């Protein structure tokens, strides 16, 4: 899974950096989408990727799992979130892609889409074992992440591939977090004595 996401990210990044046909298609699609949808709703959706919104959600999930006695998975989630700017900012500077409604550069990959993906995805992975229907948490995280991406594109803050590139990049972080959290829970269940 990580290799597939990495390949998608590499392909997308190459097409954006090399001004390939995928970039031209992306920009045509982005221009056609900008301004659609109710302004207040699309702005609200785009704001789901703000640090002020997404980080408290992840913070609450980390705190909840720490209170429940977990240590490794919450730490890994915090490290995954800390990795977002370390990965995204240098890429933005290197690619220097102009935005849809501006000549300013630094739009690929989307920091807001990356923040949403990791914050909501990591929160879902941490909380899933504590809810009755564990599948609901990842579904909610995907919905929040996709909603953020839709808002960013419809408001003209990012091109569609800016958002998708962030999803491919951060998907790899989330898969690694998922593997670690599963291993951590298995180890703790092995050590828990049964009566």
3-class secondary structure, 161:
helix
- Burial label for 148, CB within 10 Å (0-12, 13-18, 19+), is buried
Q: How many residues does the chain have?
A: 195
With 0.85 as the threshold, say if the pTM is over it.
yes
Q: How many CB atoms within 10 Å of residue 54?
A: 27
Q: What is the DSSP letter of 107?
A: -
Q: Which two tokens stand for residue 63?
A: 């705190």
Please say if the pLDDT value at position 190 is more than 90. Answer: no
Beta bridge mates, 87: none
Tell me the per-residue pLDDT of 161-184, one tens digit each, with 9 for 90 and over.
Answer: 999 999 999 998 888 888 876 766
- The pLDDT of residue 184: 62
Q: Are 76 and 139 in contact (CB under 8 A)?
A: no
């Amino acid at each position: 899974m990580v290799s597939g996401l990495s390949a998608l990210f590499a392909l997308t990044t190459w097409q954006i950096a090399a001004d390939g046909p995928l970039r031209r298609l992306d920009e045509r699609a982005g221009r056609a989408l900008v301004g659609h949808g109710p302004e207040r709703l699309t702005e609200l959706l785009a704001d789901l990727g703000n640090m002020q919104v997404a980080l408290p959600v992840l913070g609450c999930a980390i705190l909840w799992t720490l209170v429940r006695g977990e240590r490794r998975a919450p730490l890994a989630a915090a490290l995954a979130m800390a990795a977002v700017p370390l990965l995204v900012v240098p890429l933005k500077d290197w690619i220097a892609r102009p935005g849809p409604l501006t000549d300013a550069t630094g739009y690929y990959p989307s920091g807001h889409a990356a923040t949403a993906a990791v914050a909501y995805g990591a929160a879902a992975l941490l909380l899933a074992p504590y809810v009755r229907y564990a599948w609901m948490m990842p579904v909610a995280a995907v919905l929040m992440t996709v909603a953020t991406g839709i808002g960013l594109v419809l408001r003209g803050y990012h091109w569609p591939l800016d958002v998708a590139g962030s999803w491919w990049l951060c998907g790899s972080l989330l898969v690694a977090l998922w593997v670690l959290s599963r291993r951590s829970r298995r180890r703790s269940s092995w050590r828990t004595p049964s009566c």
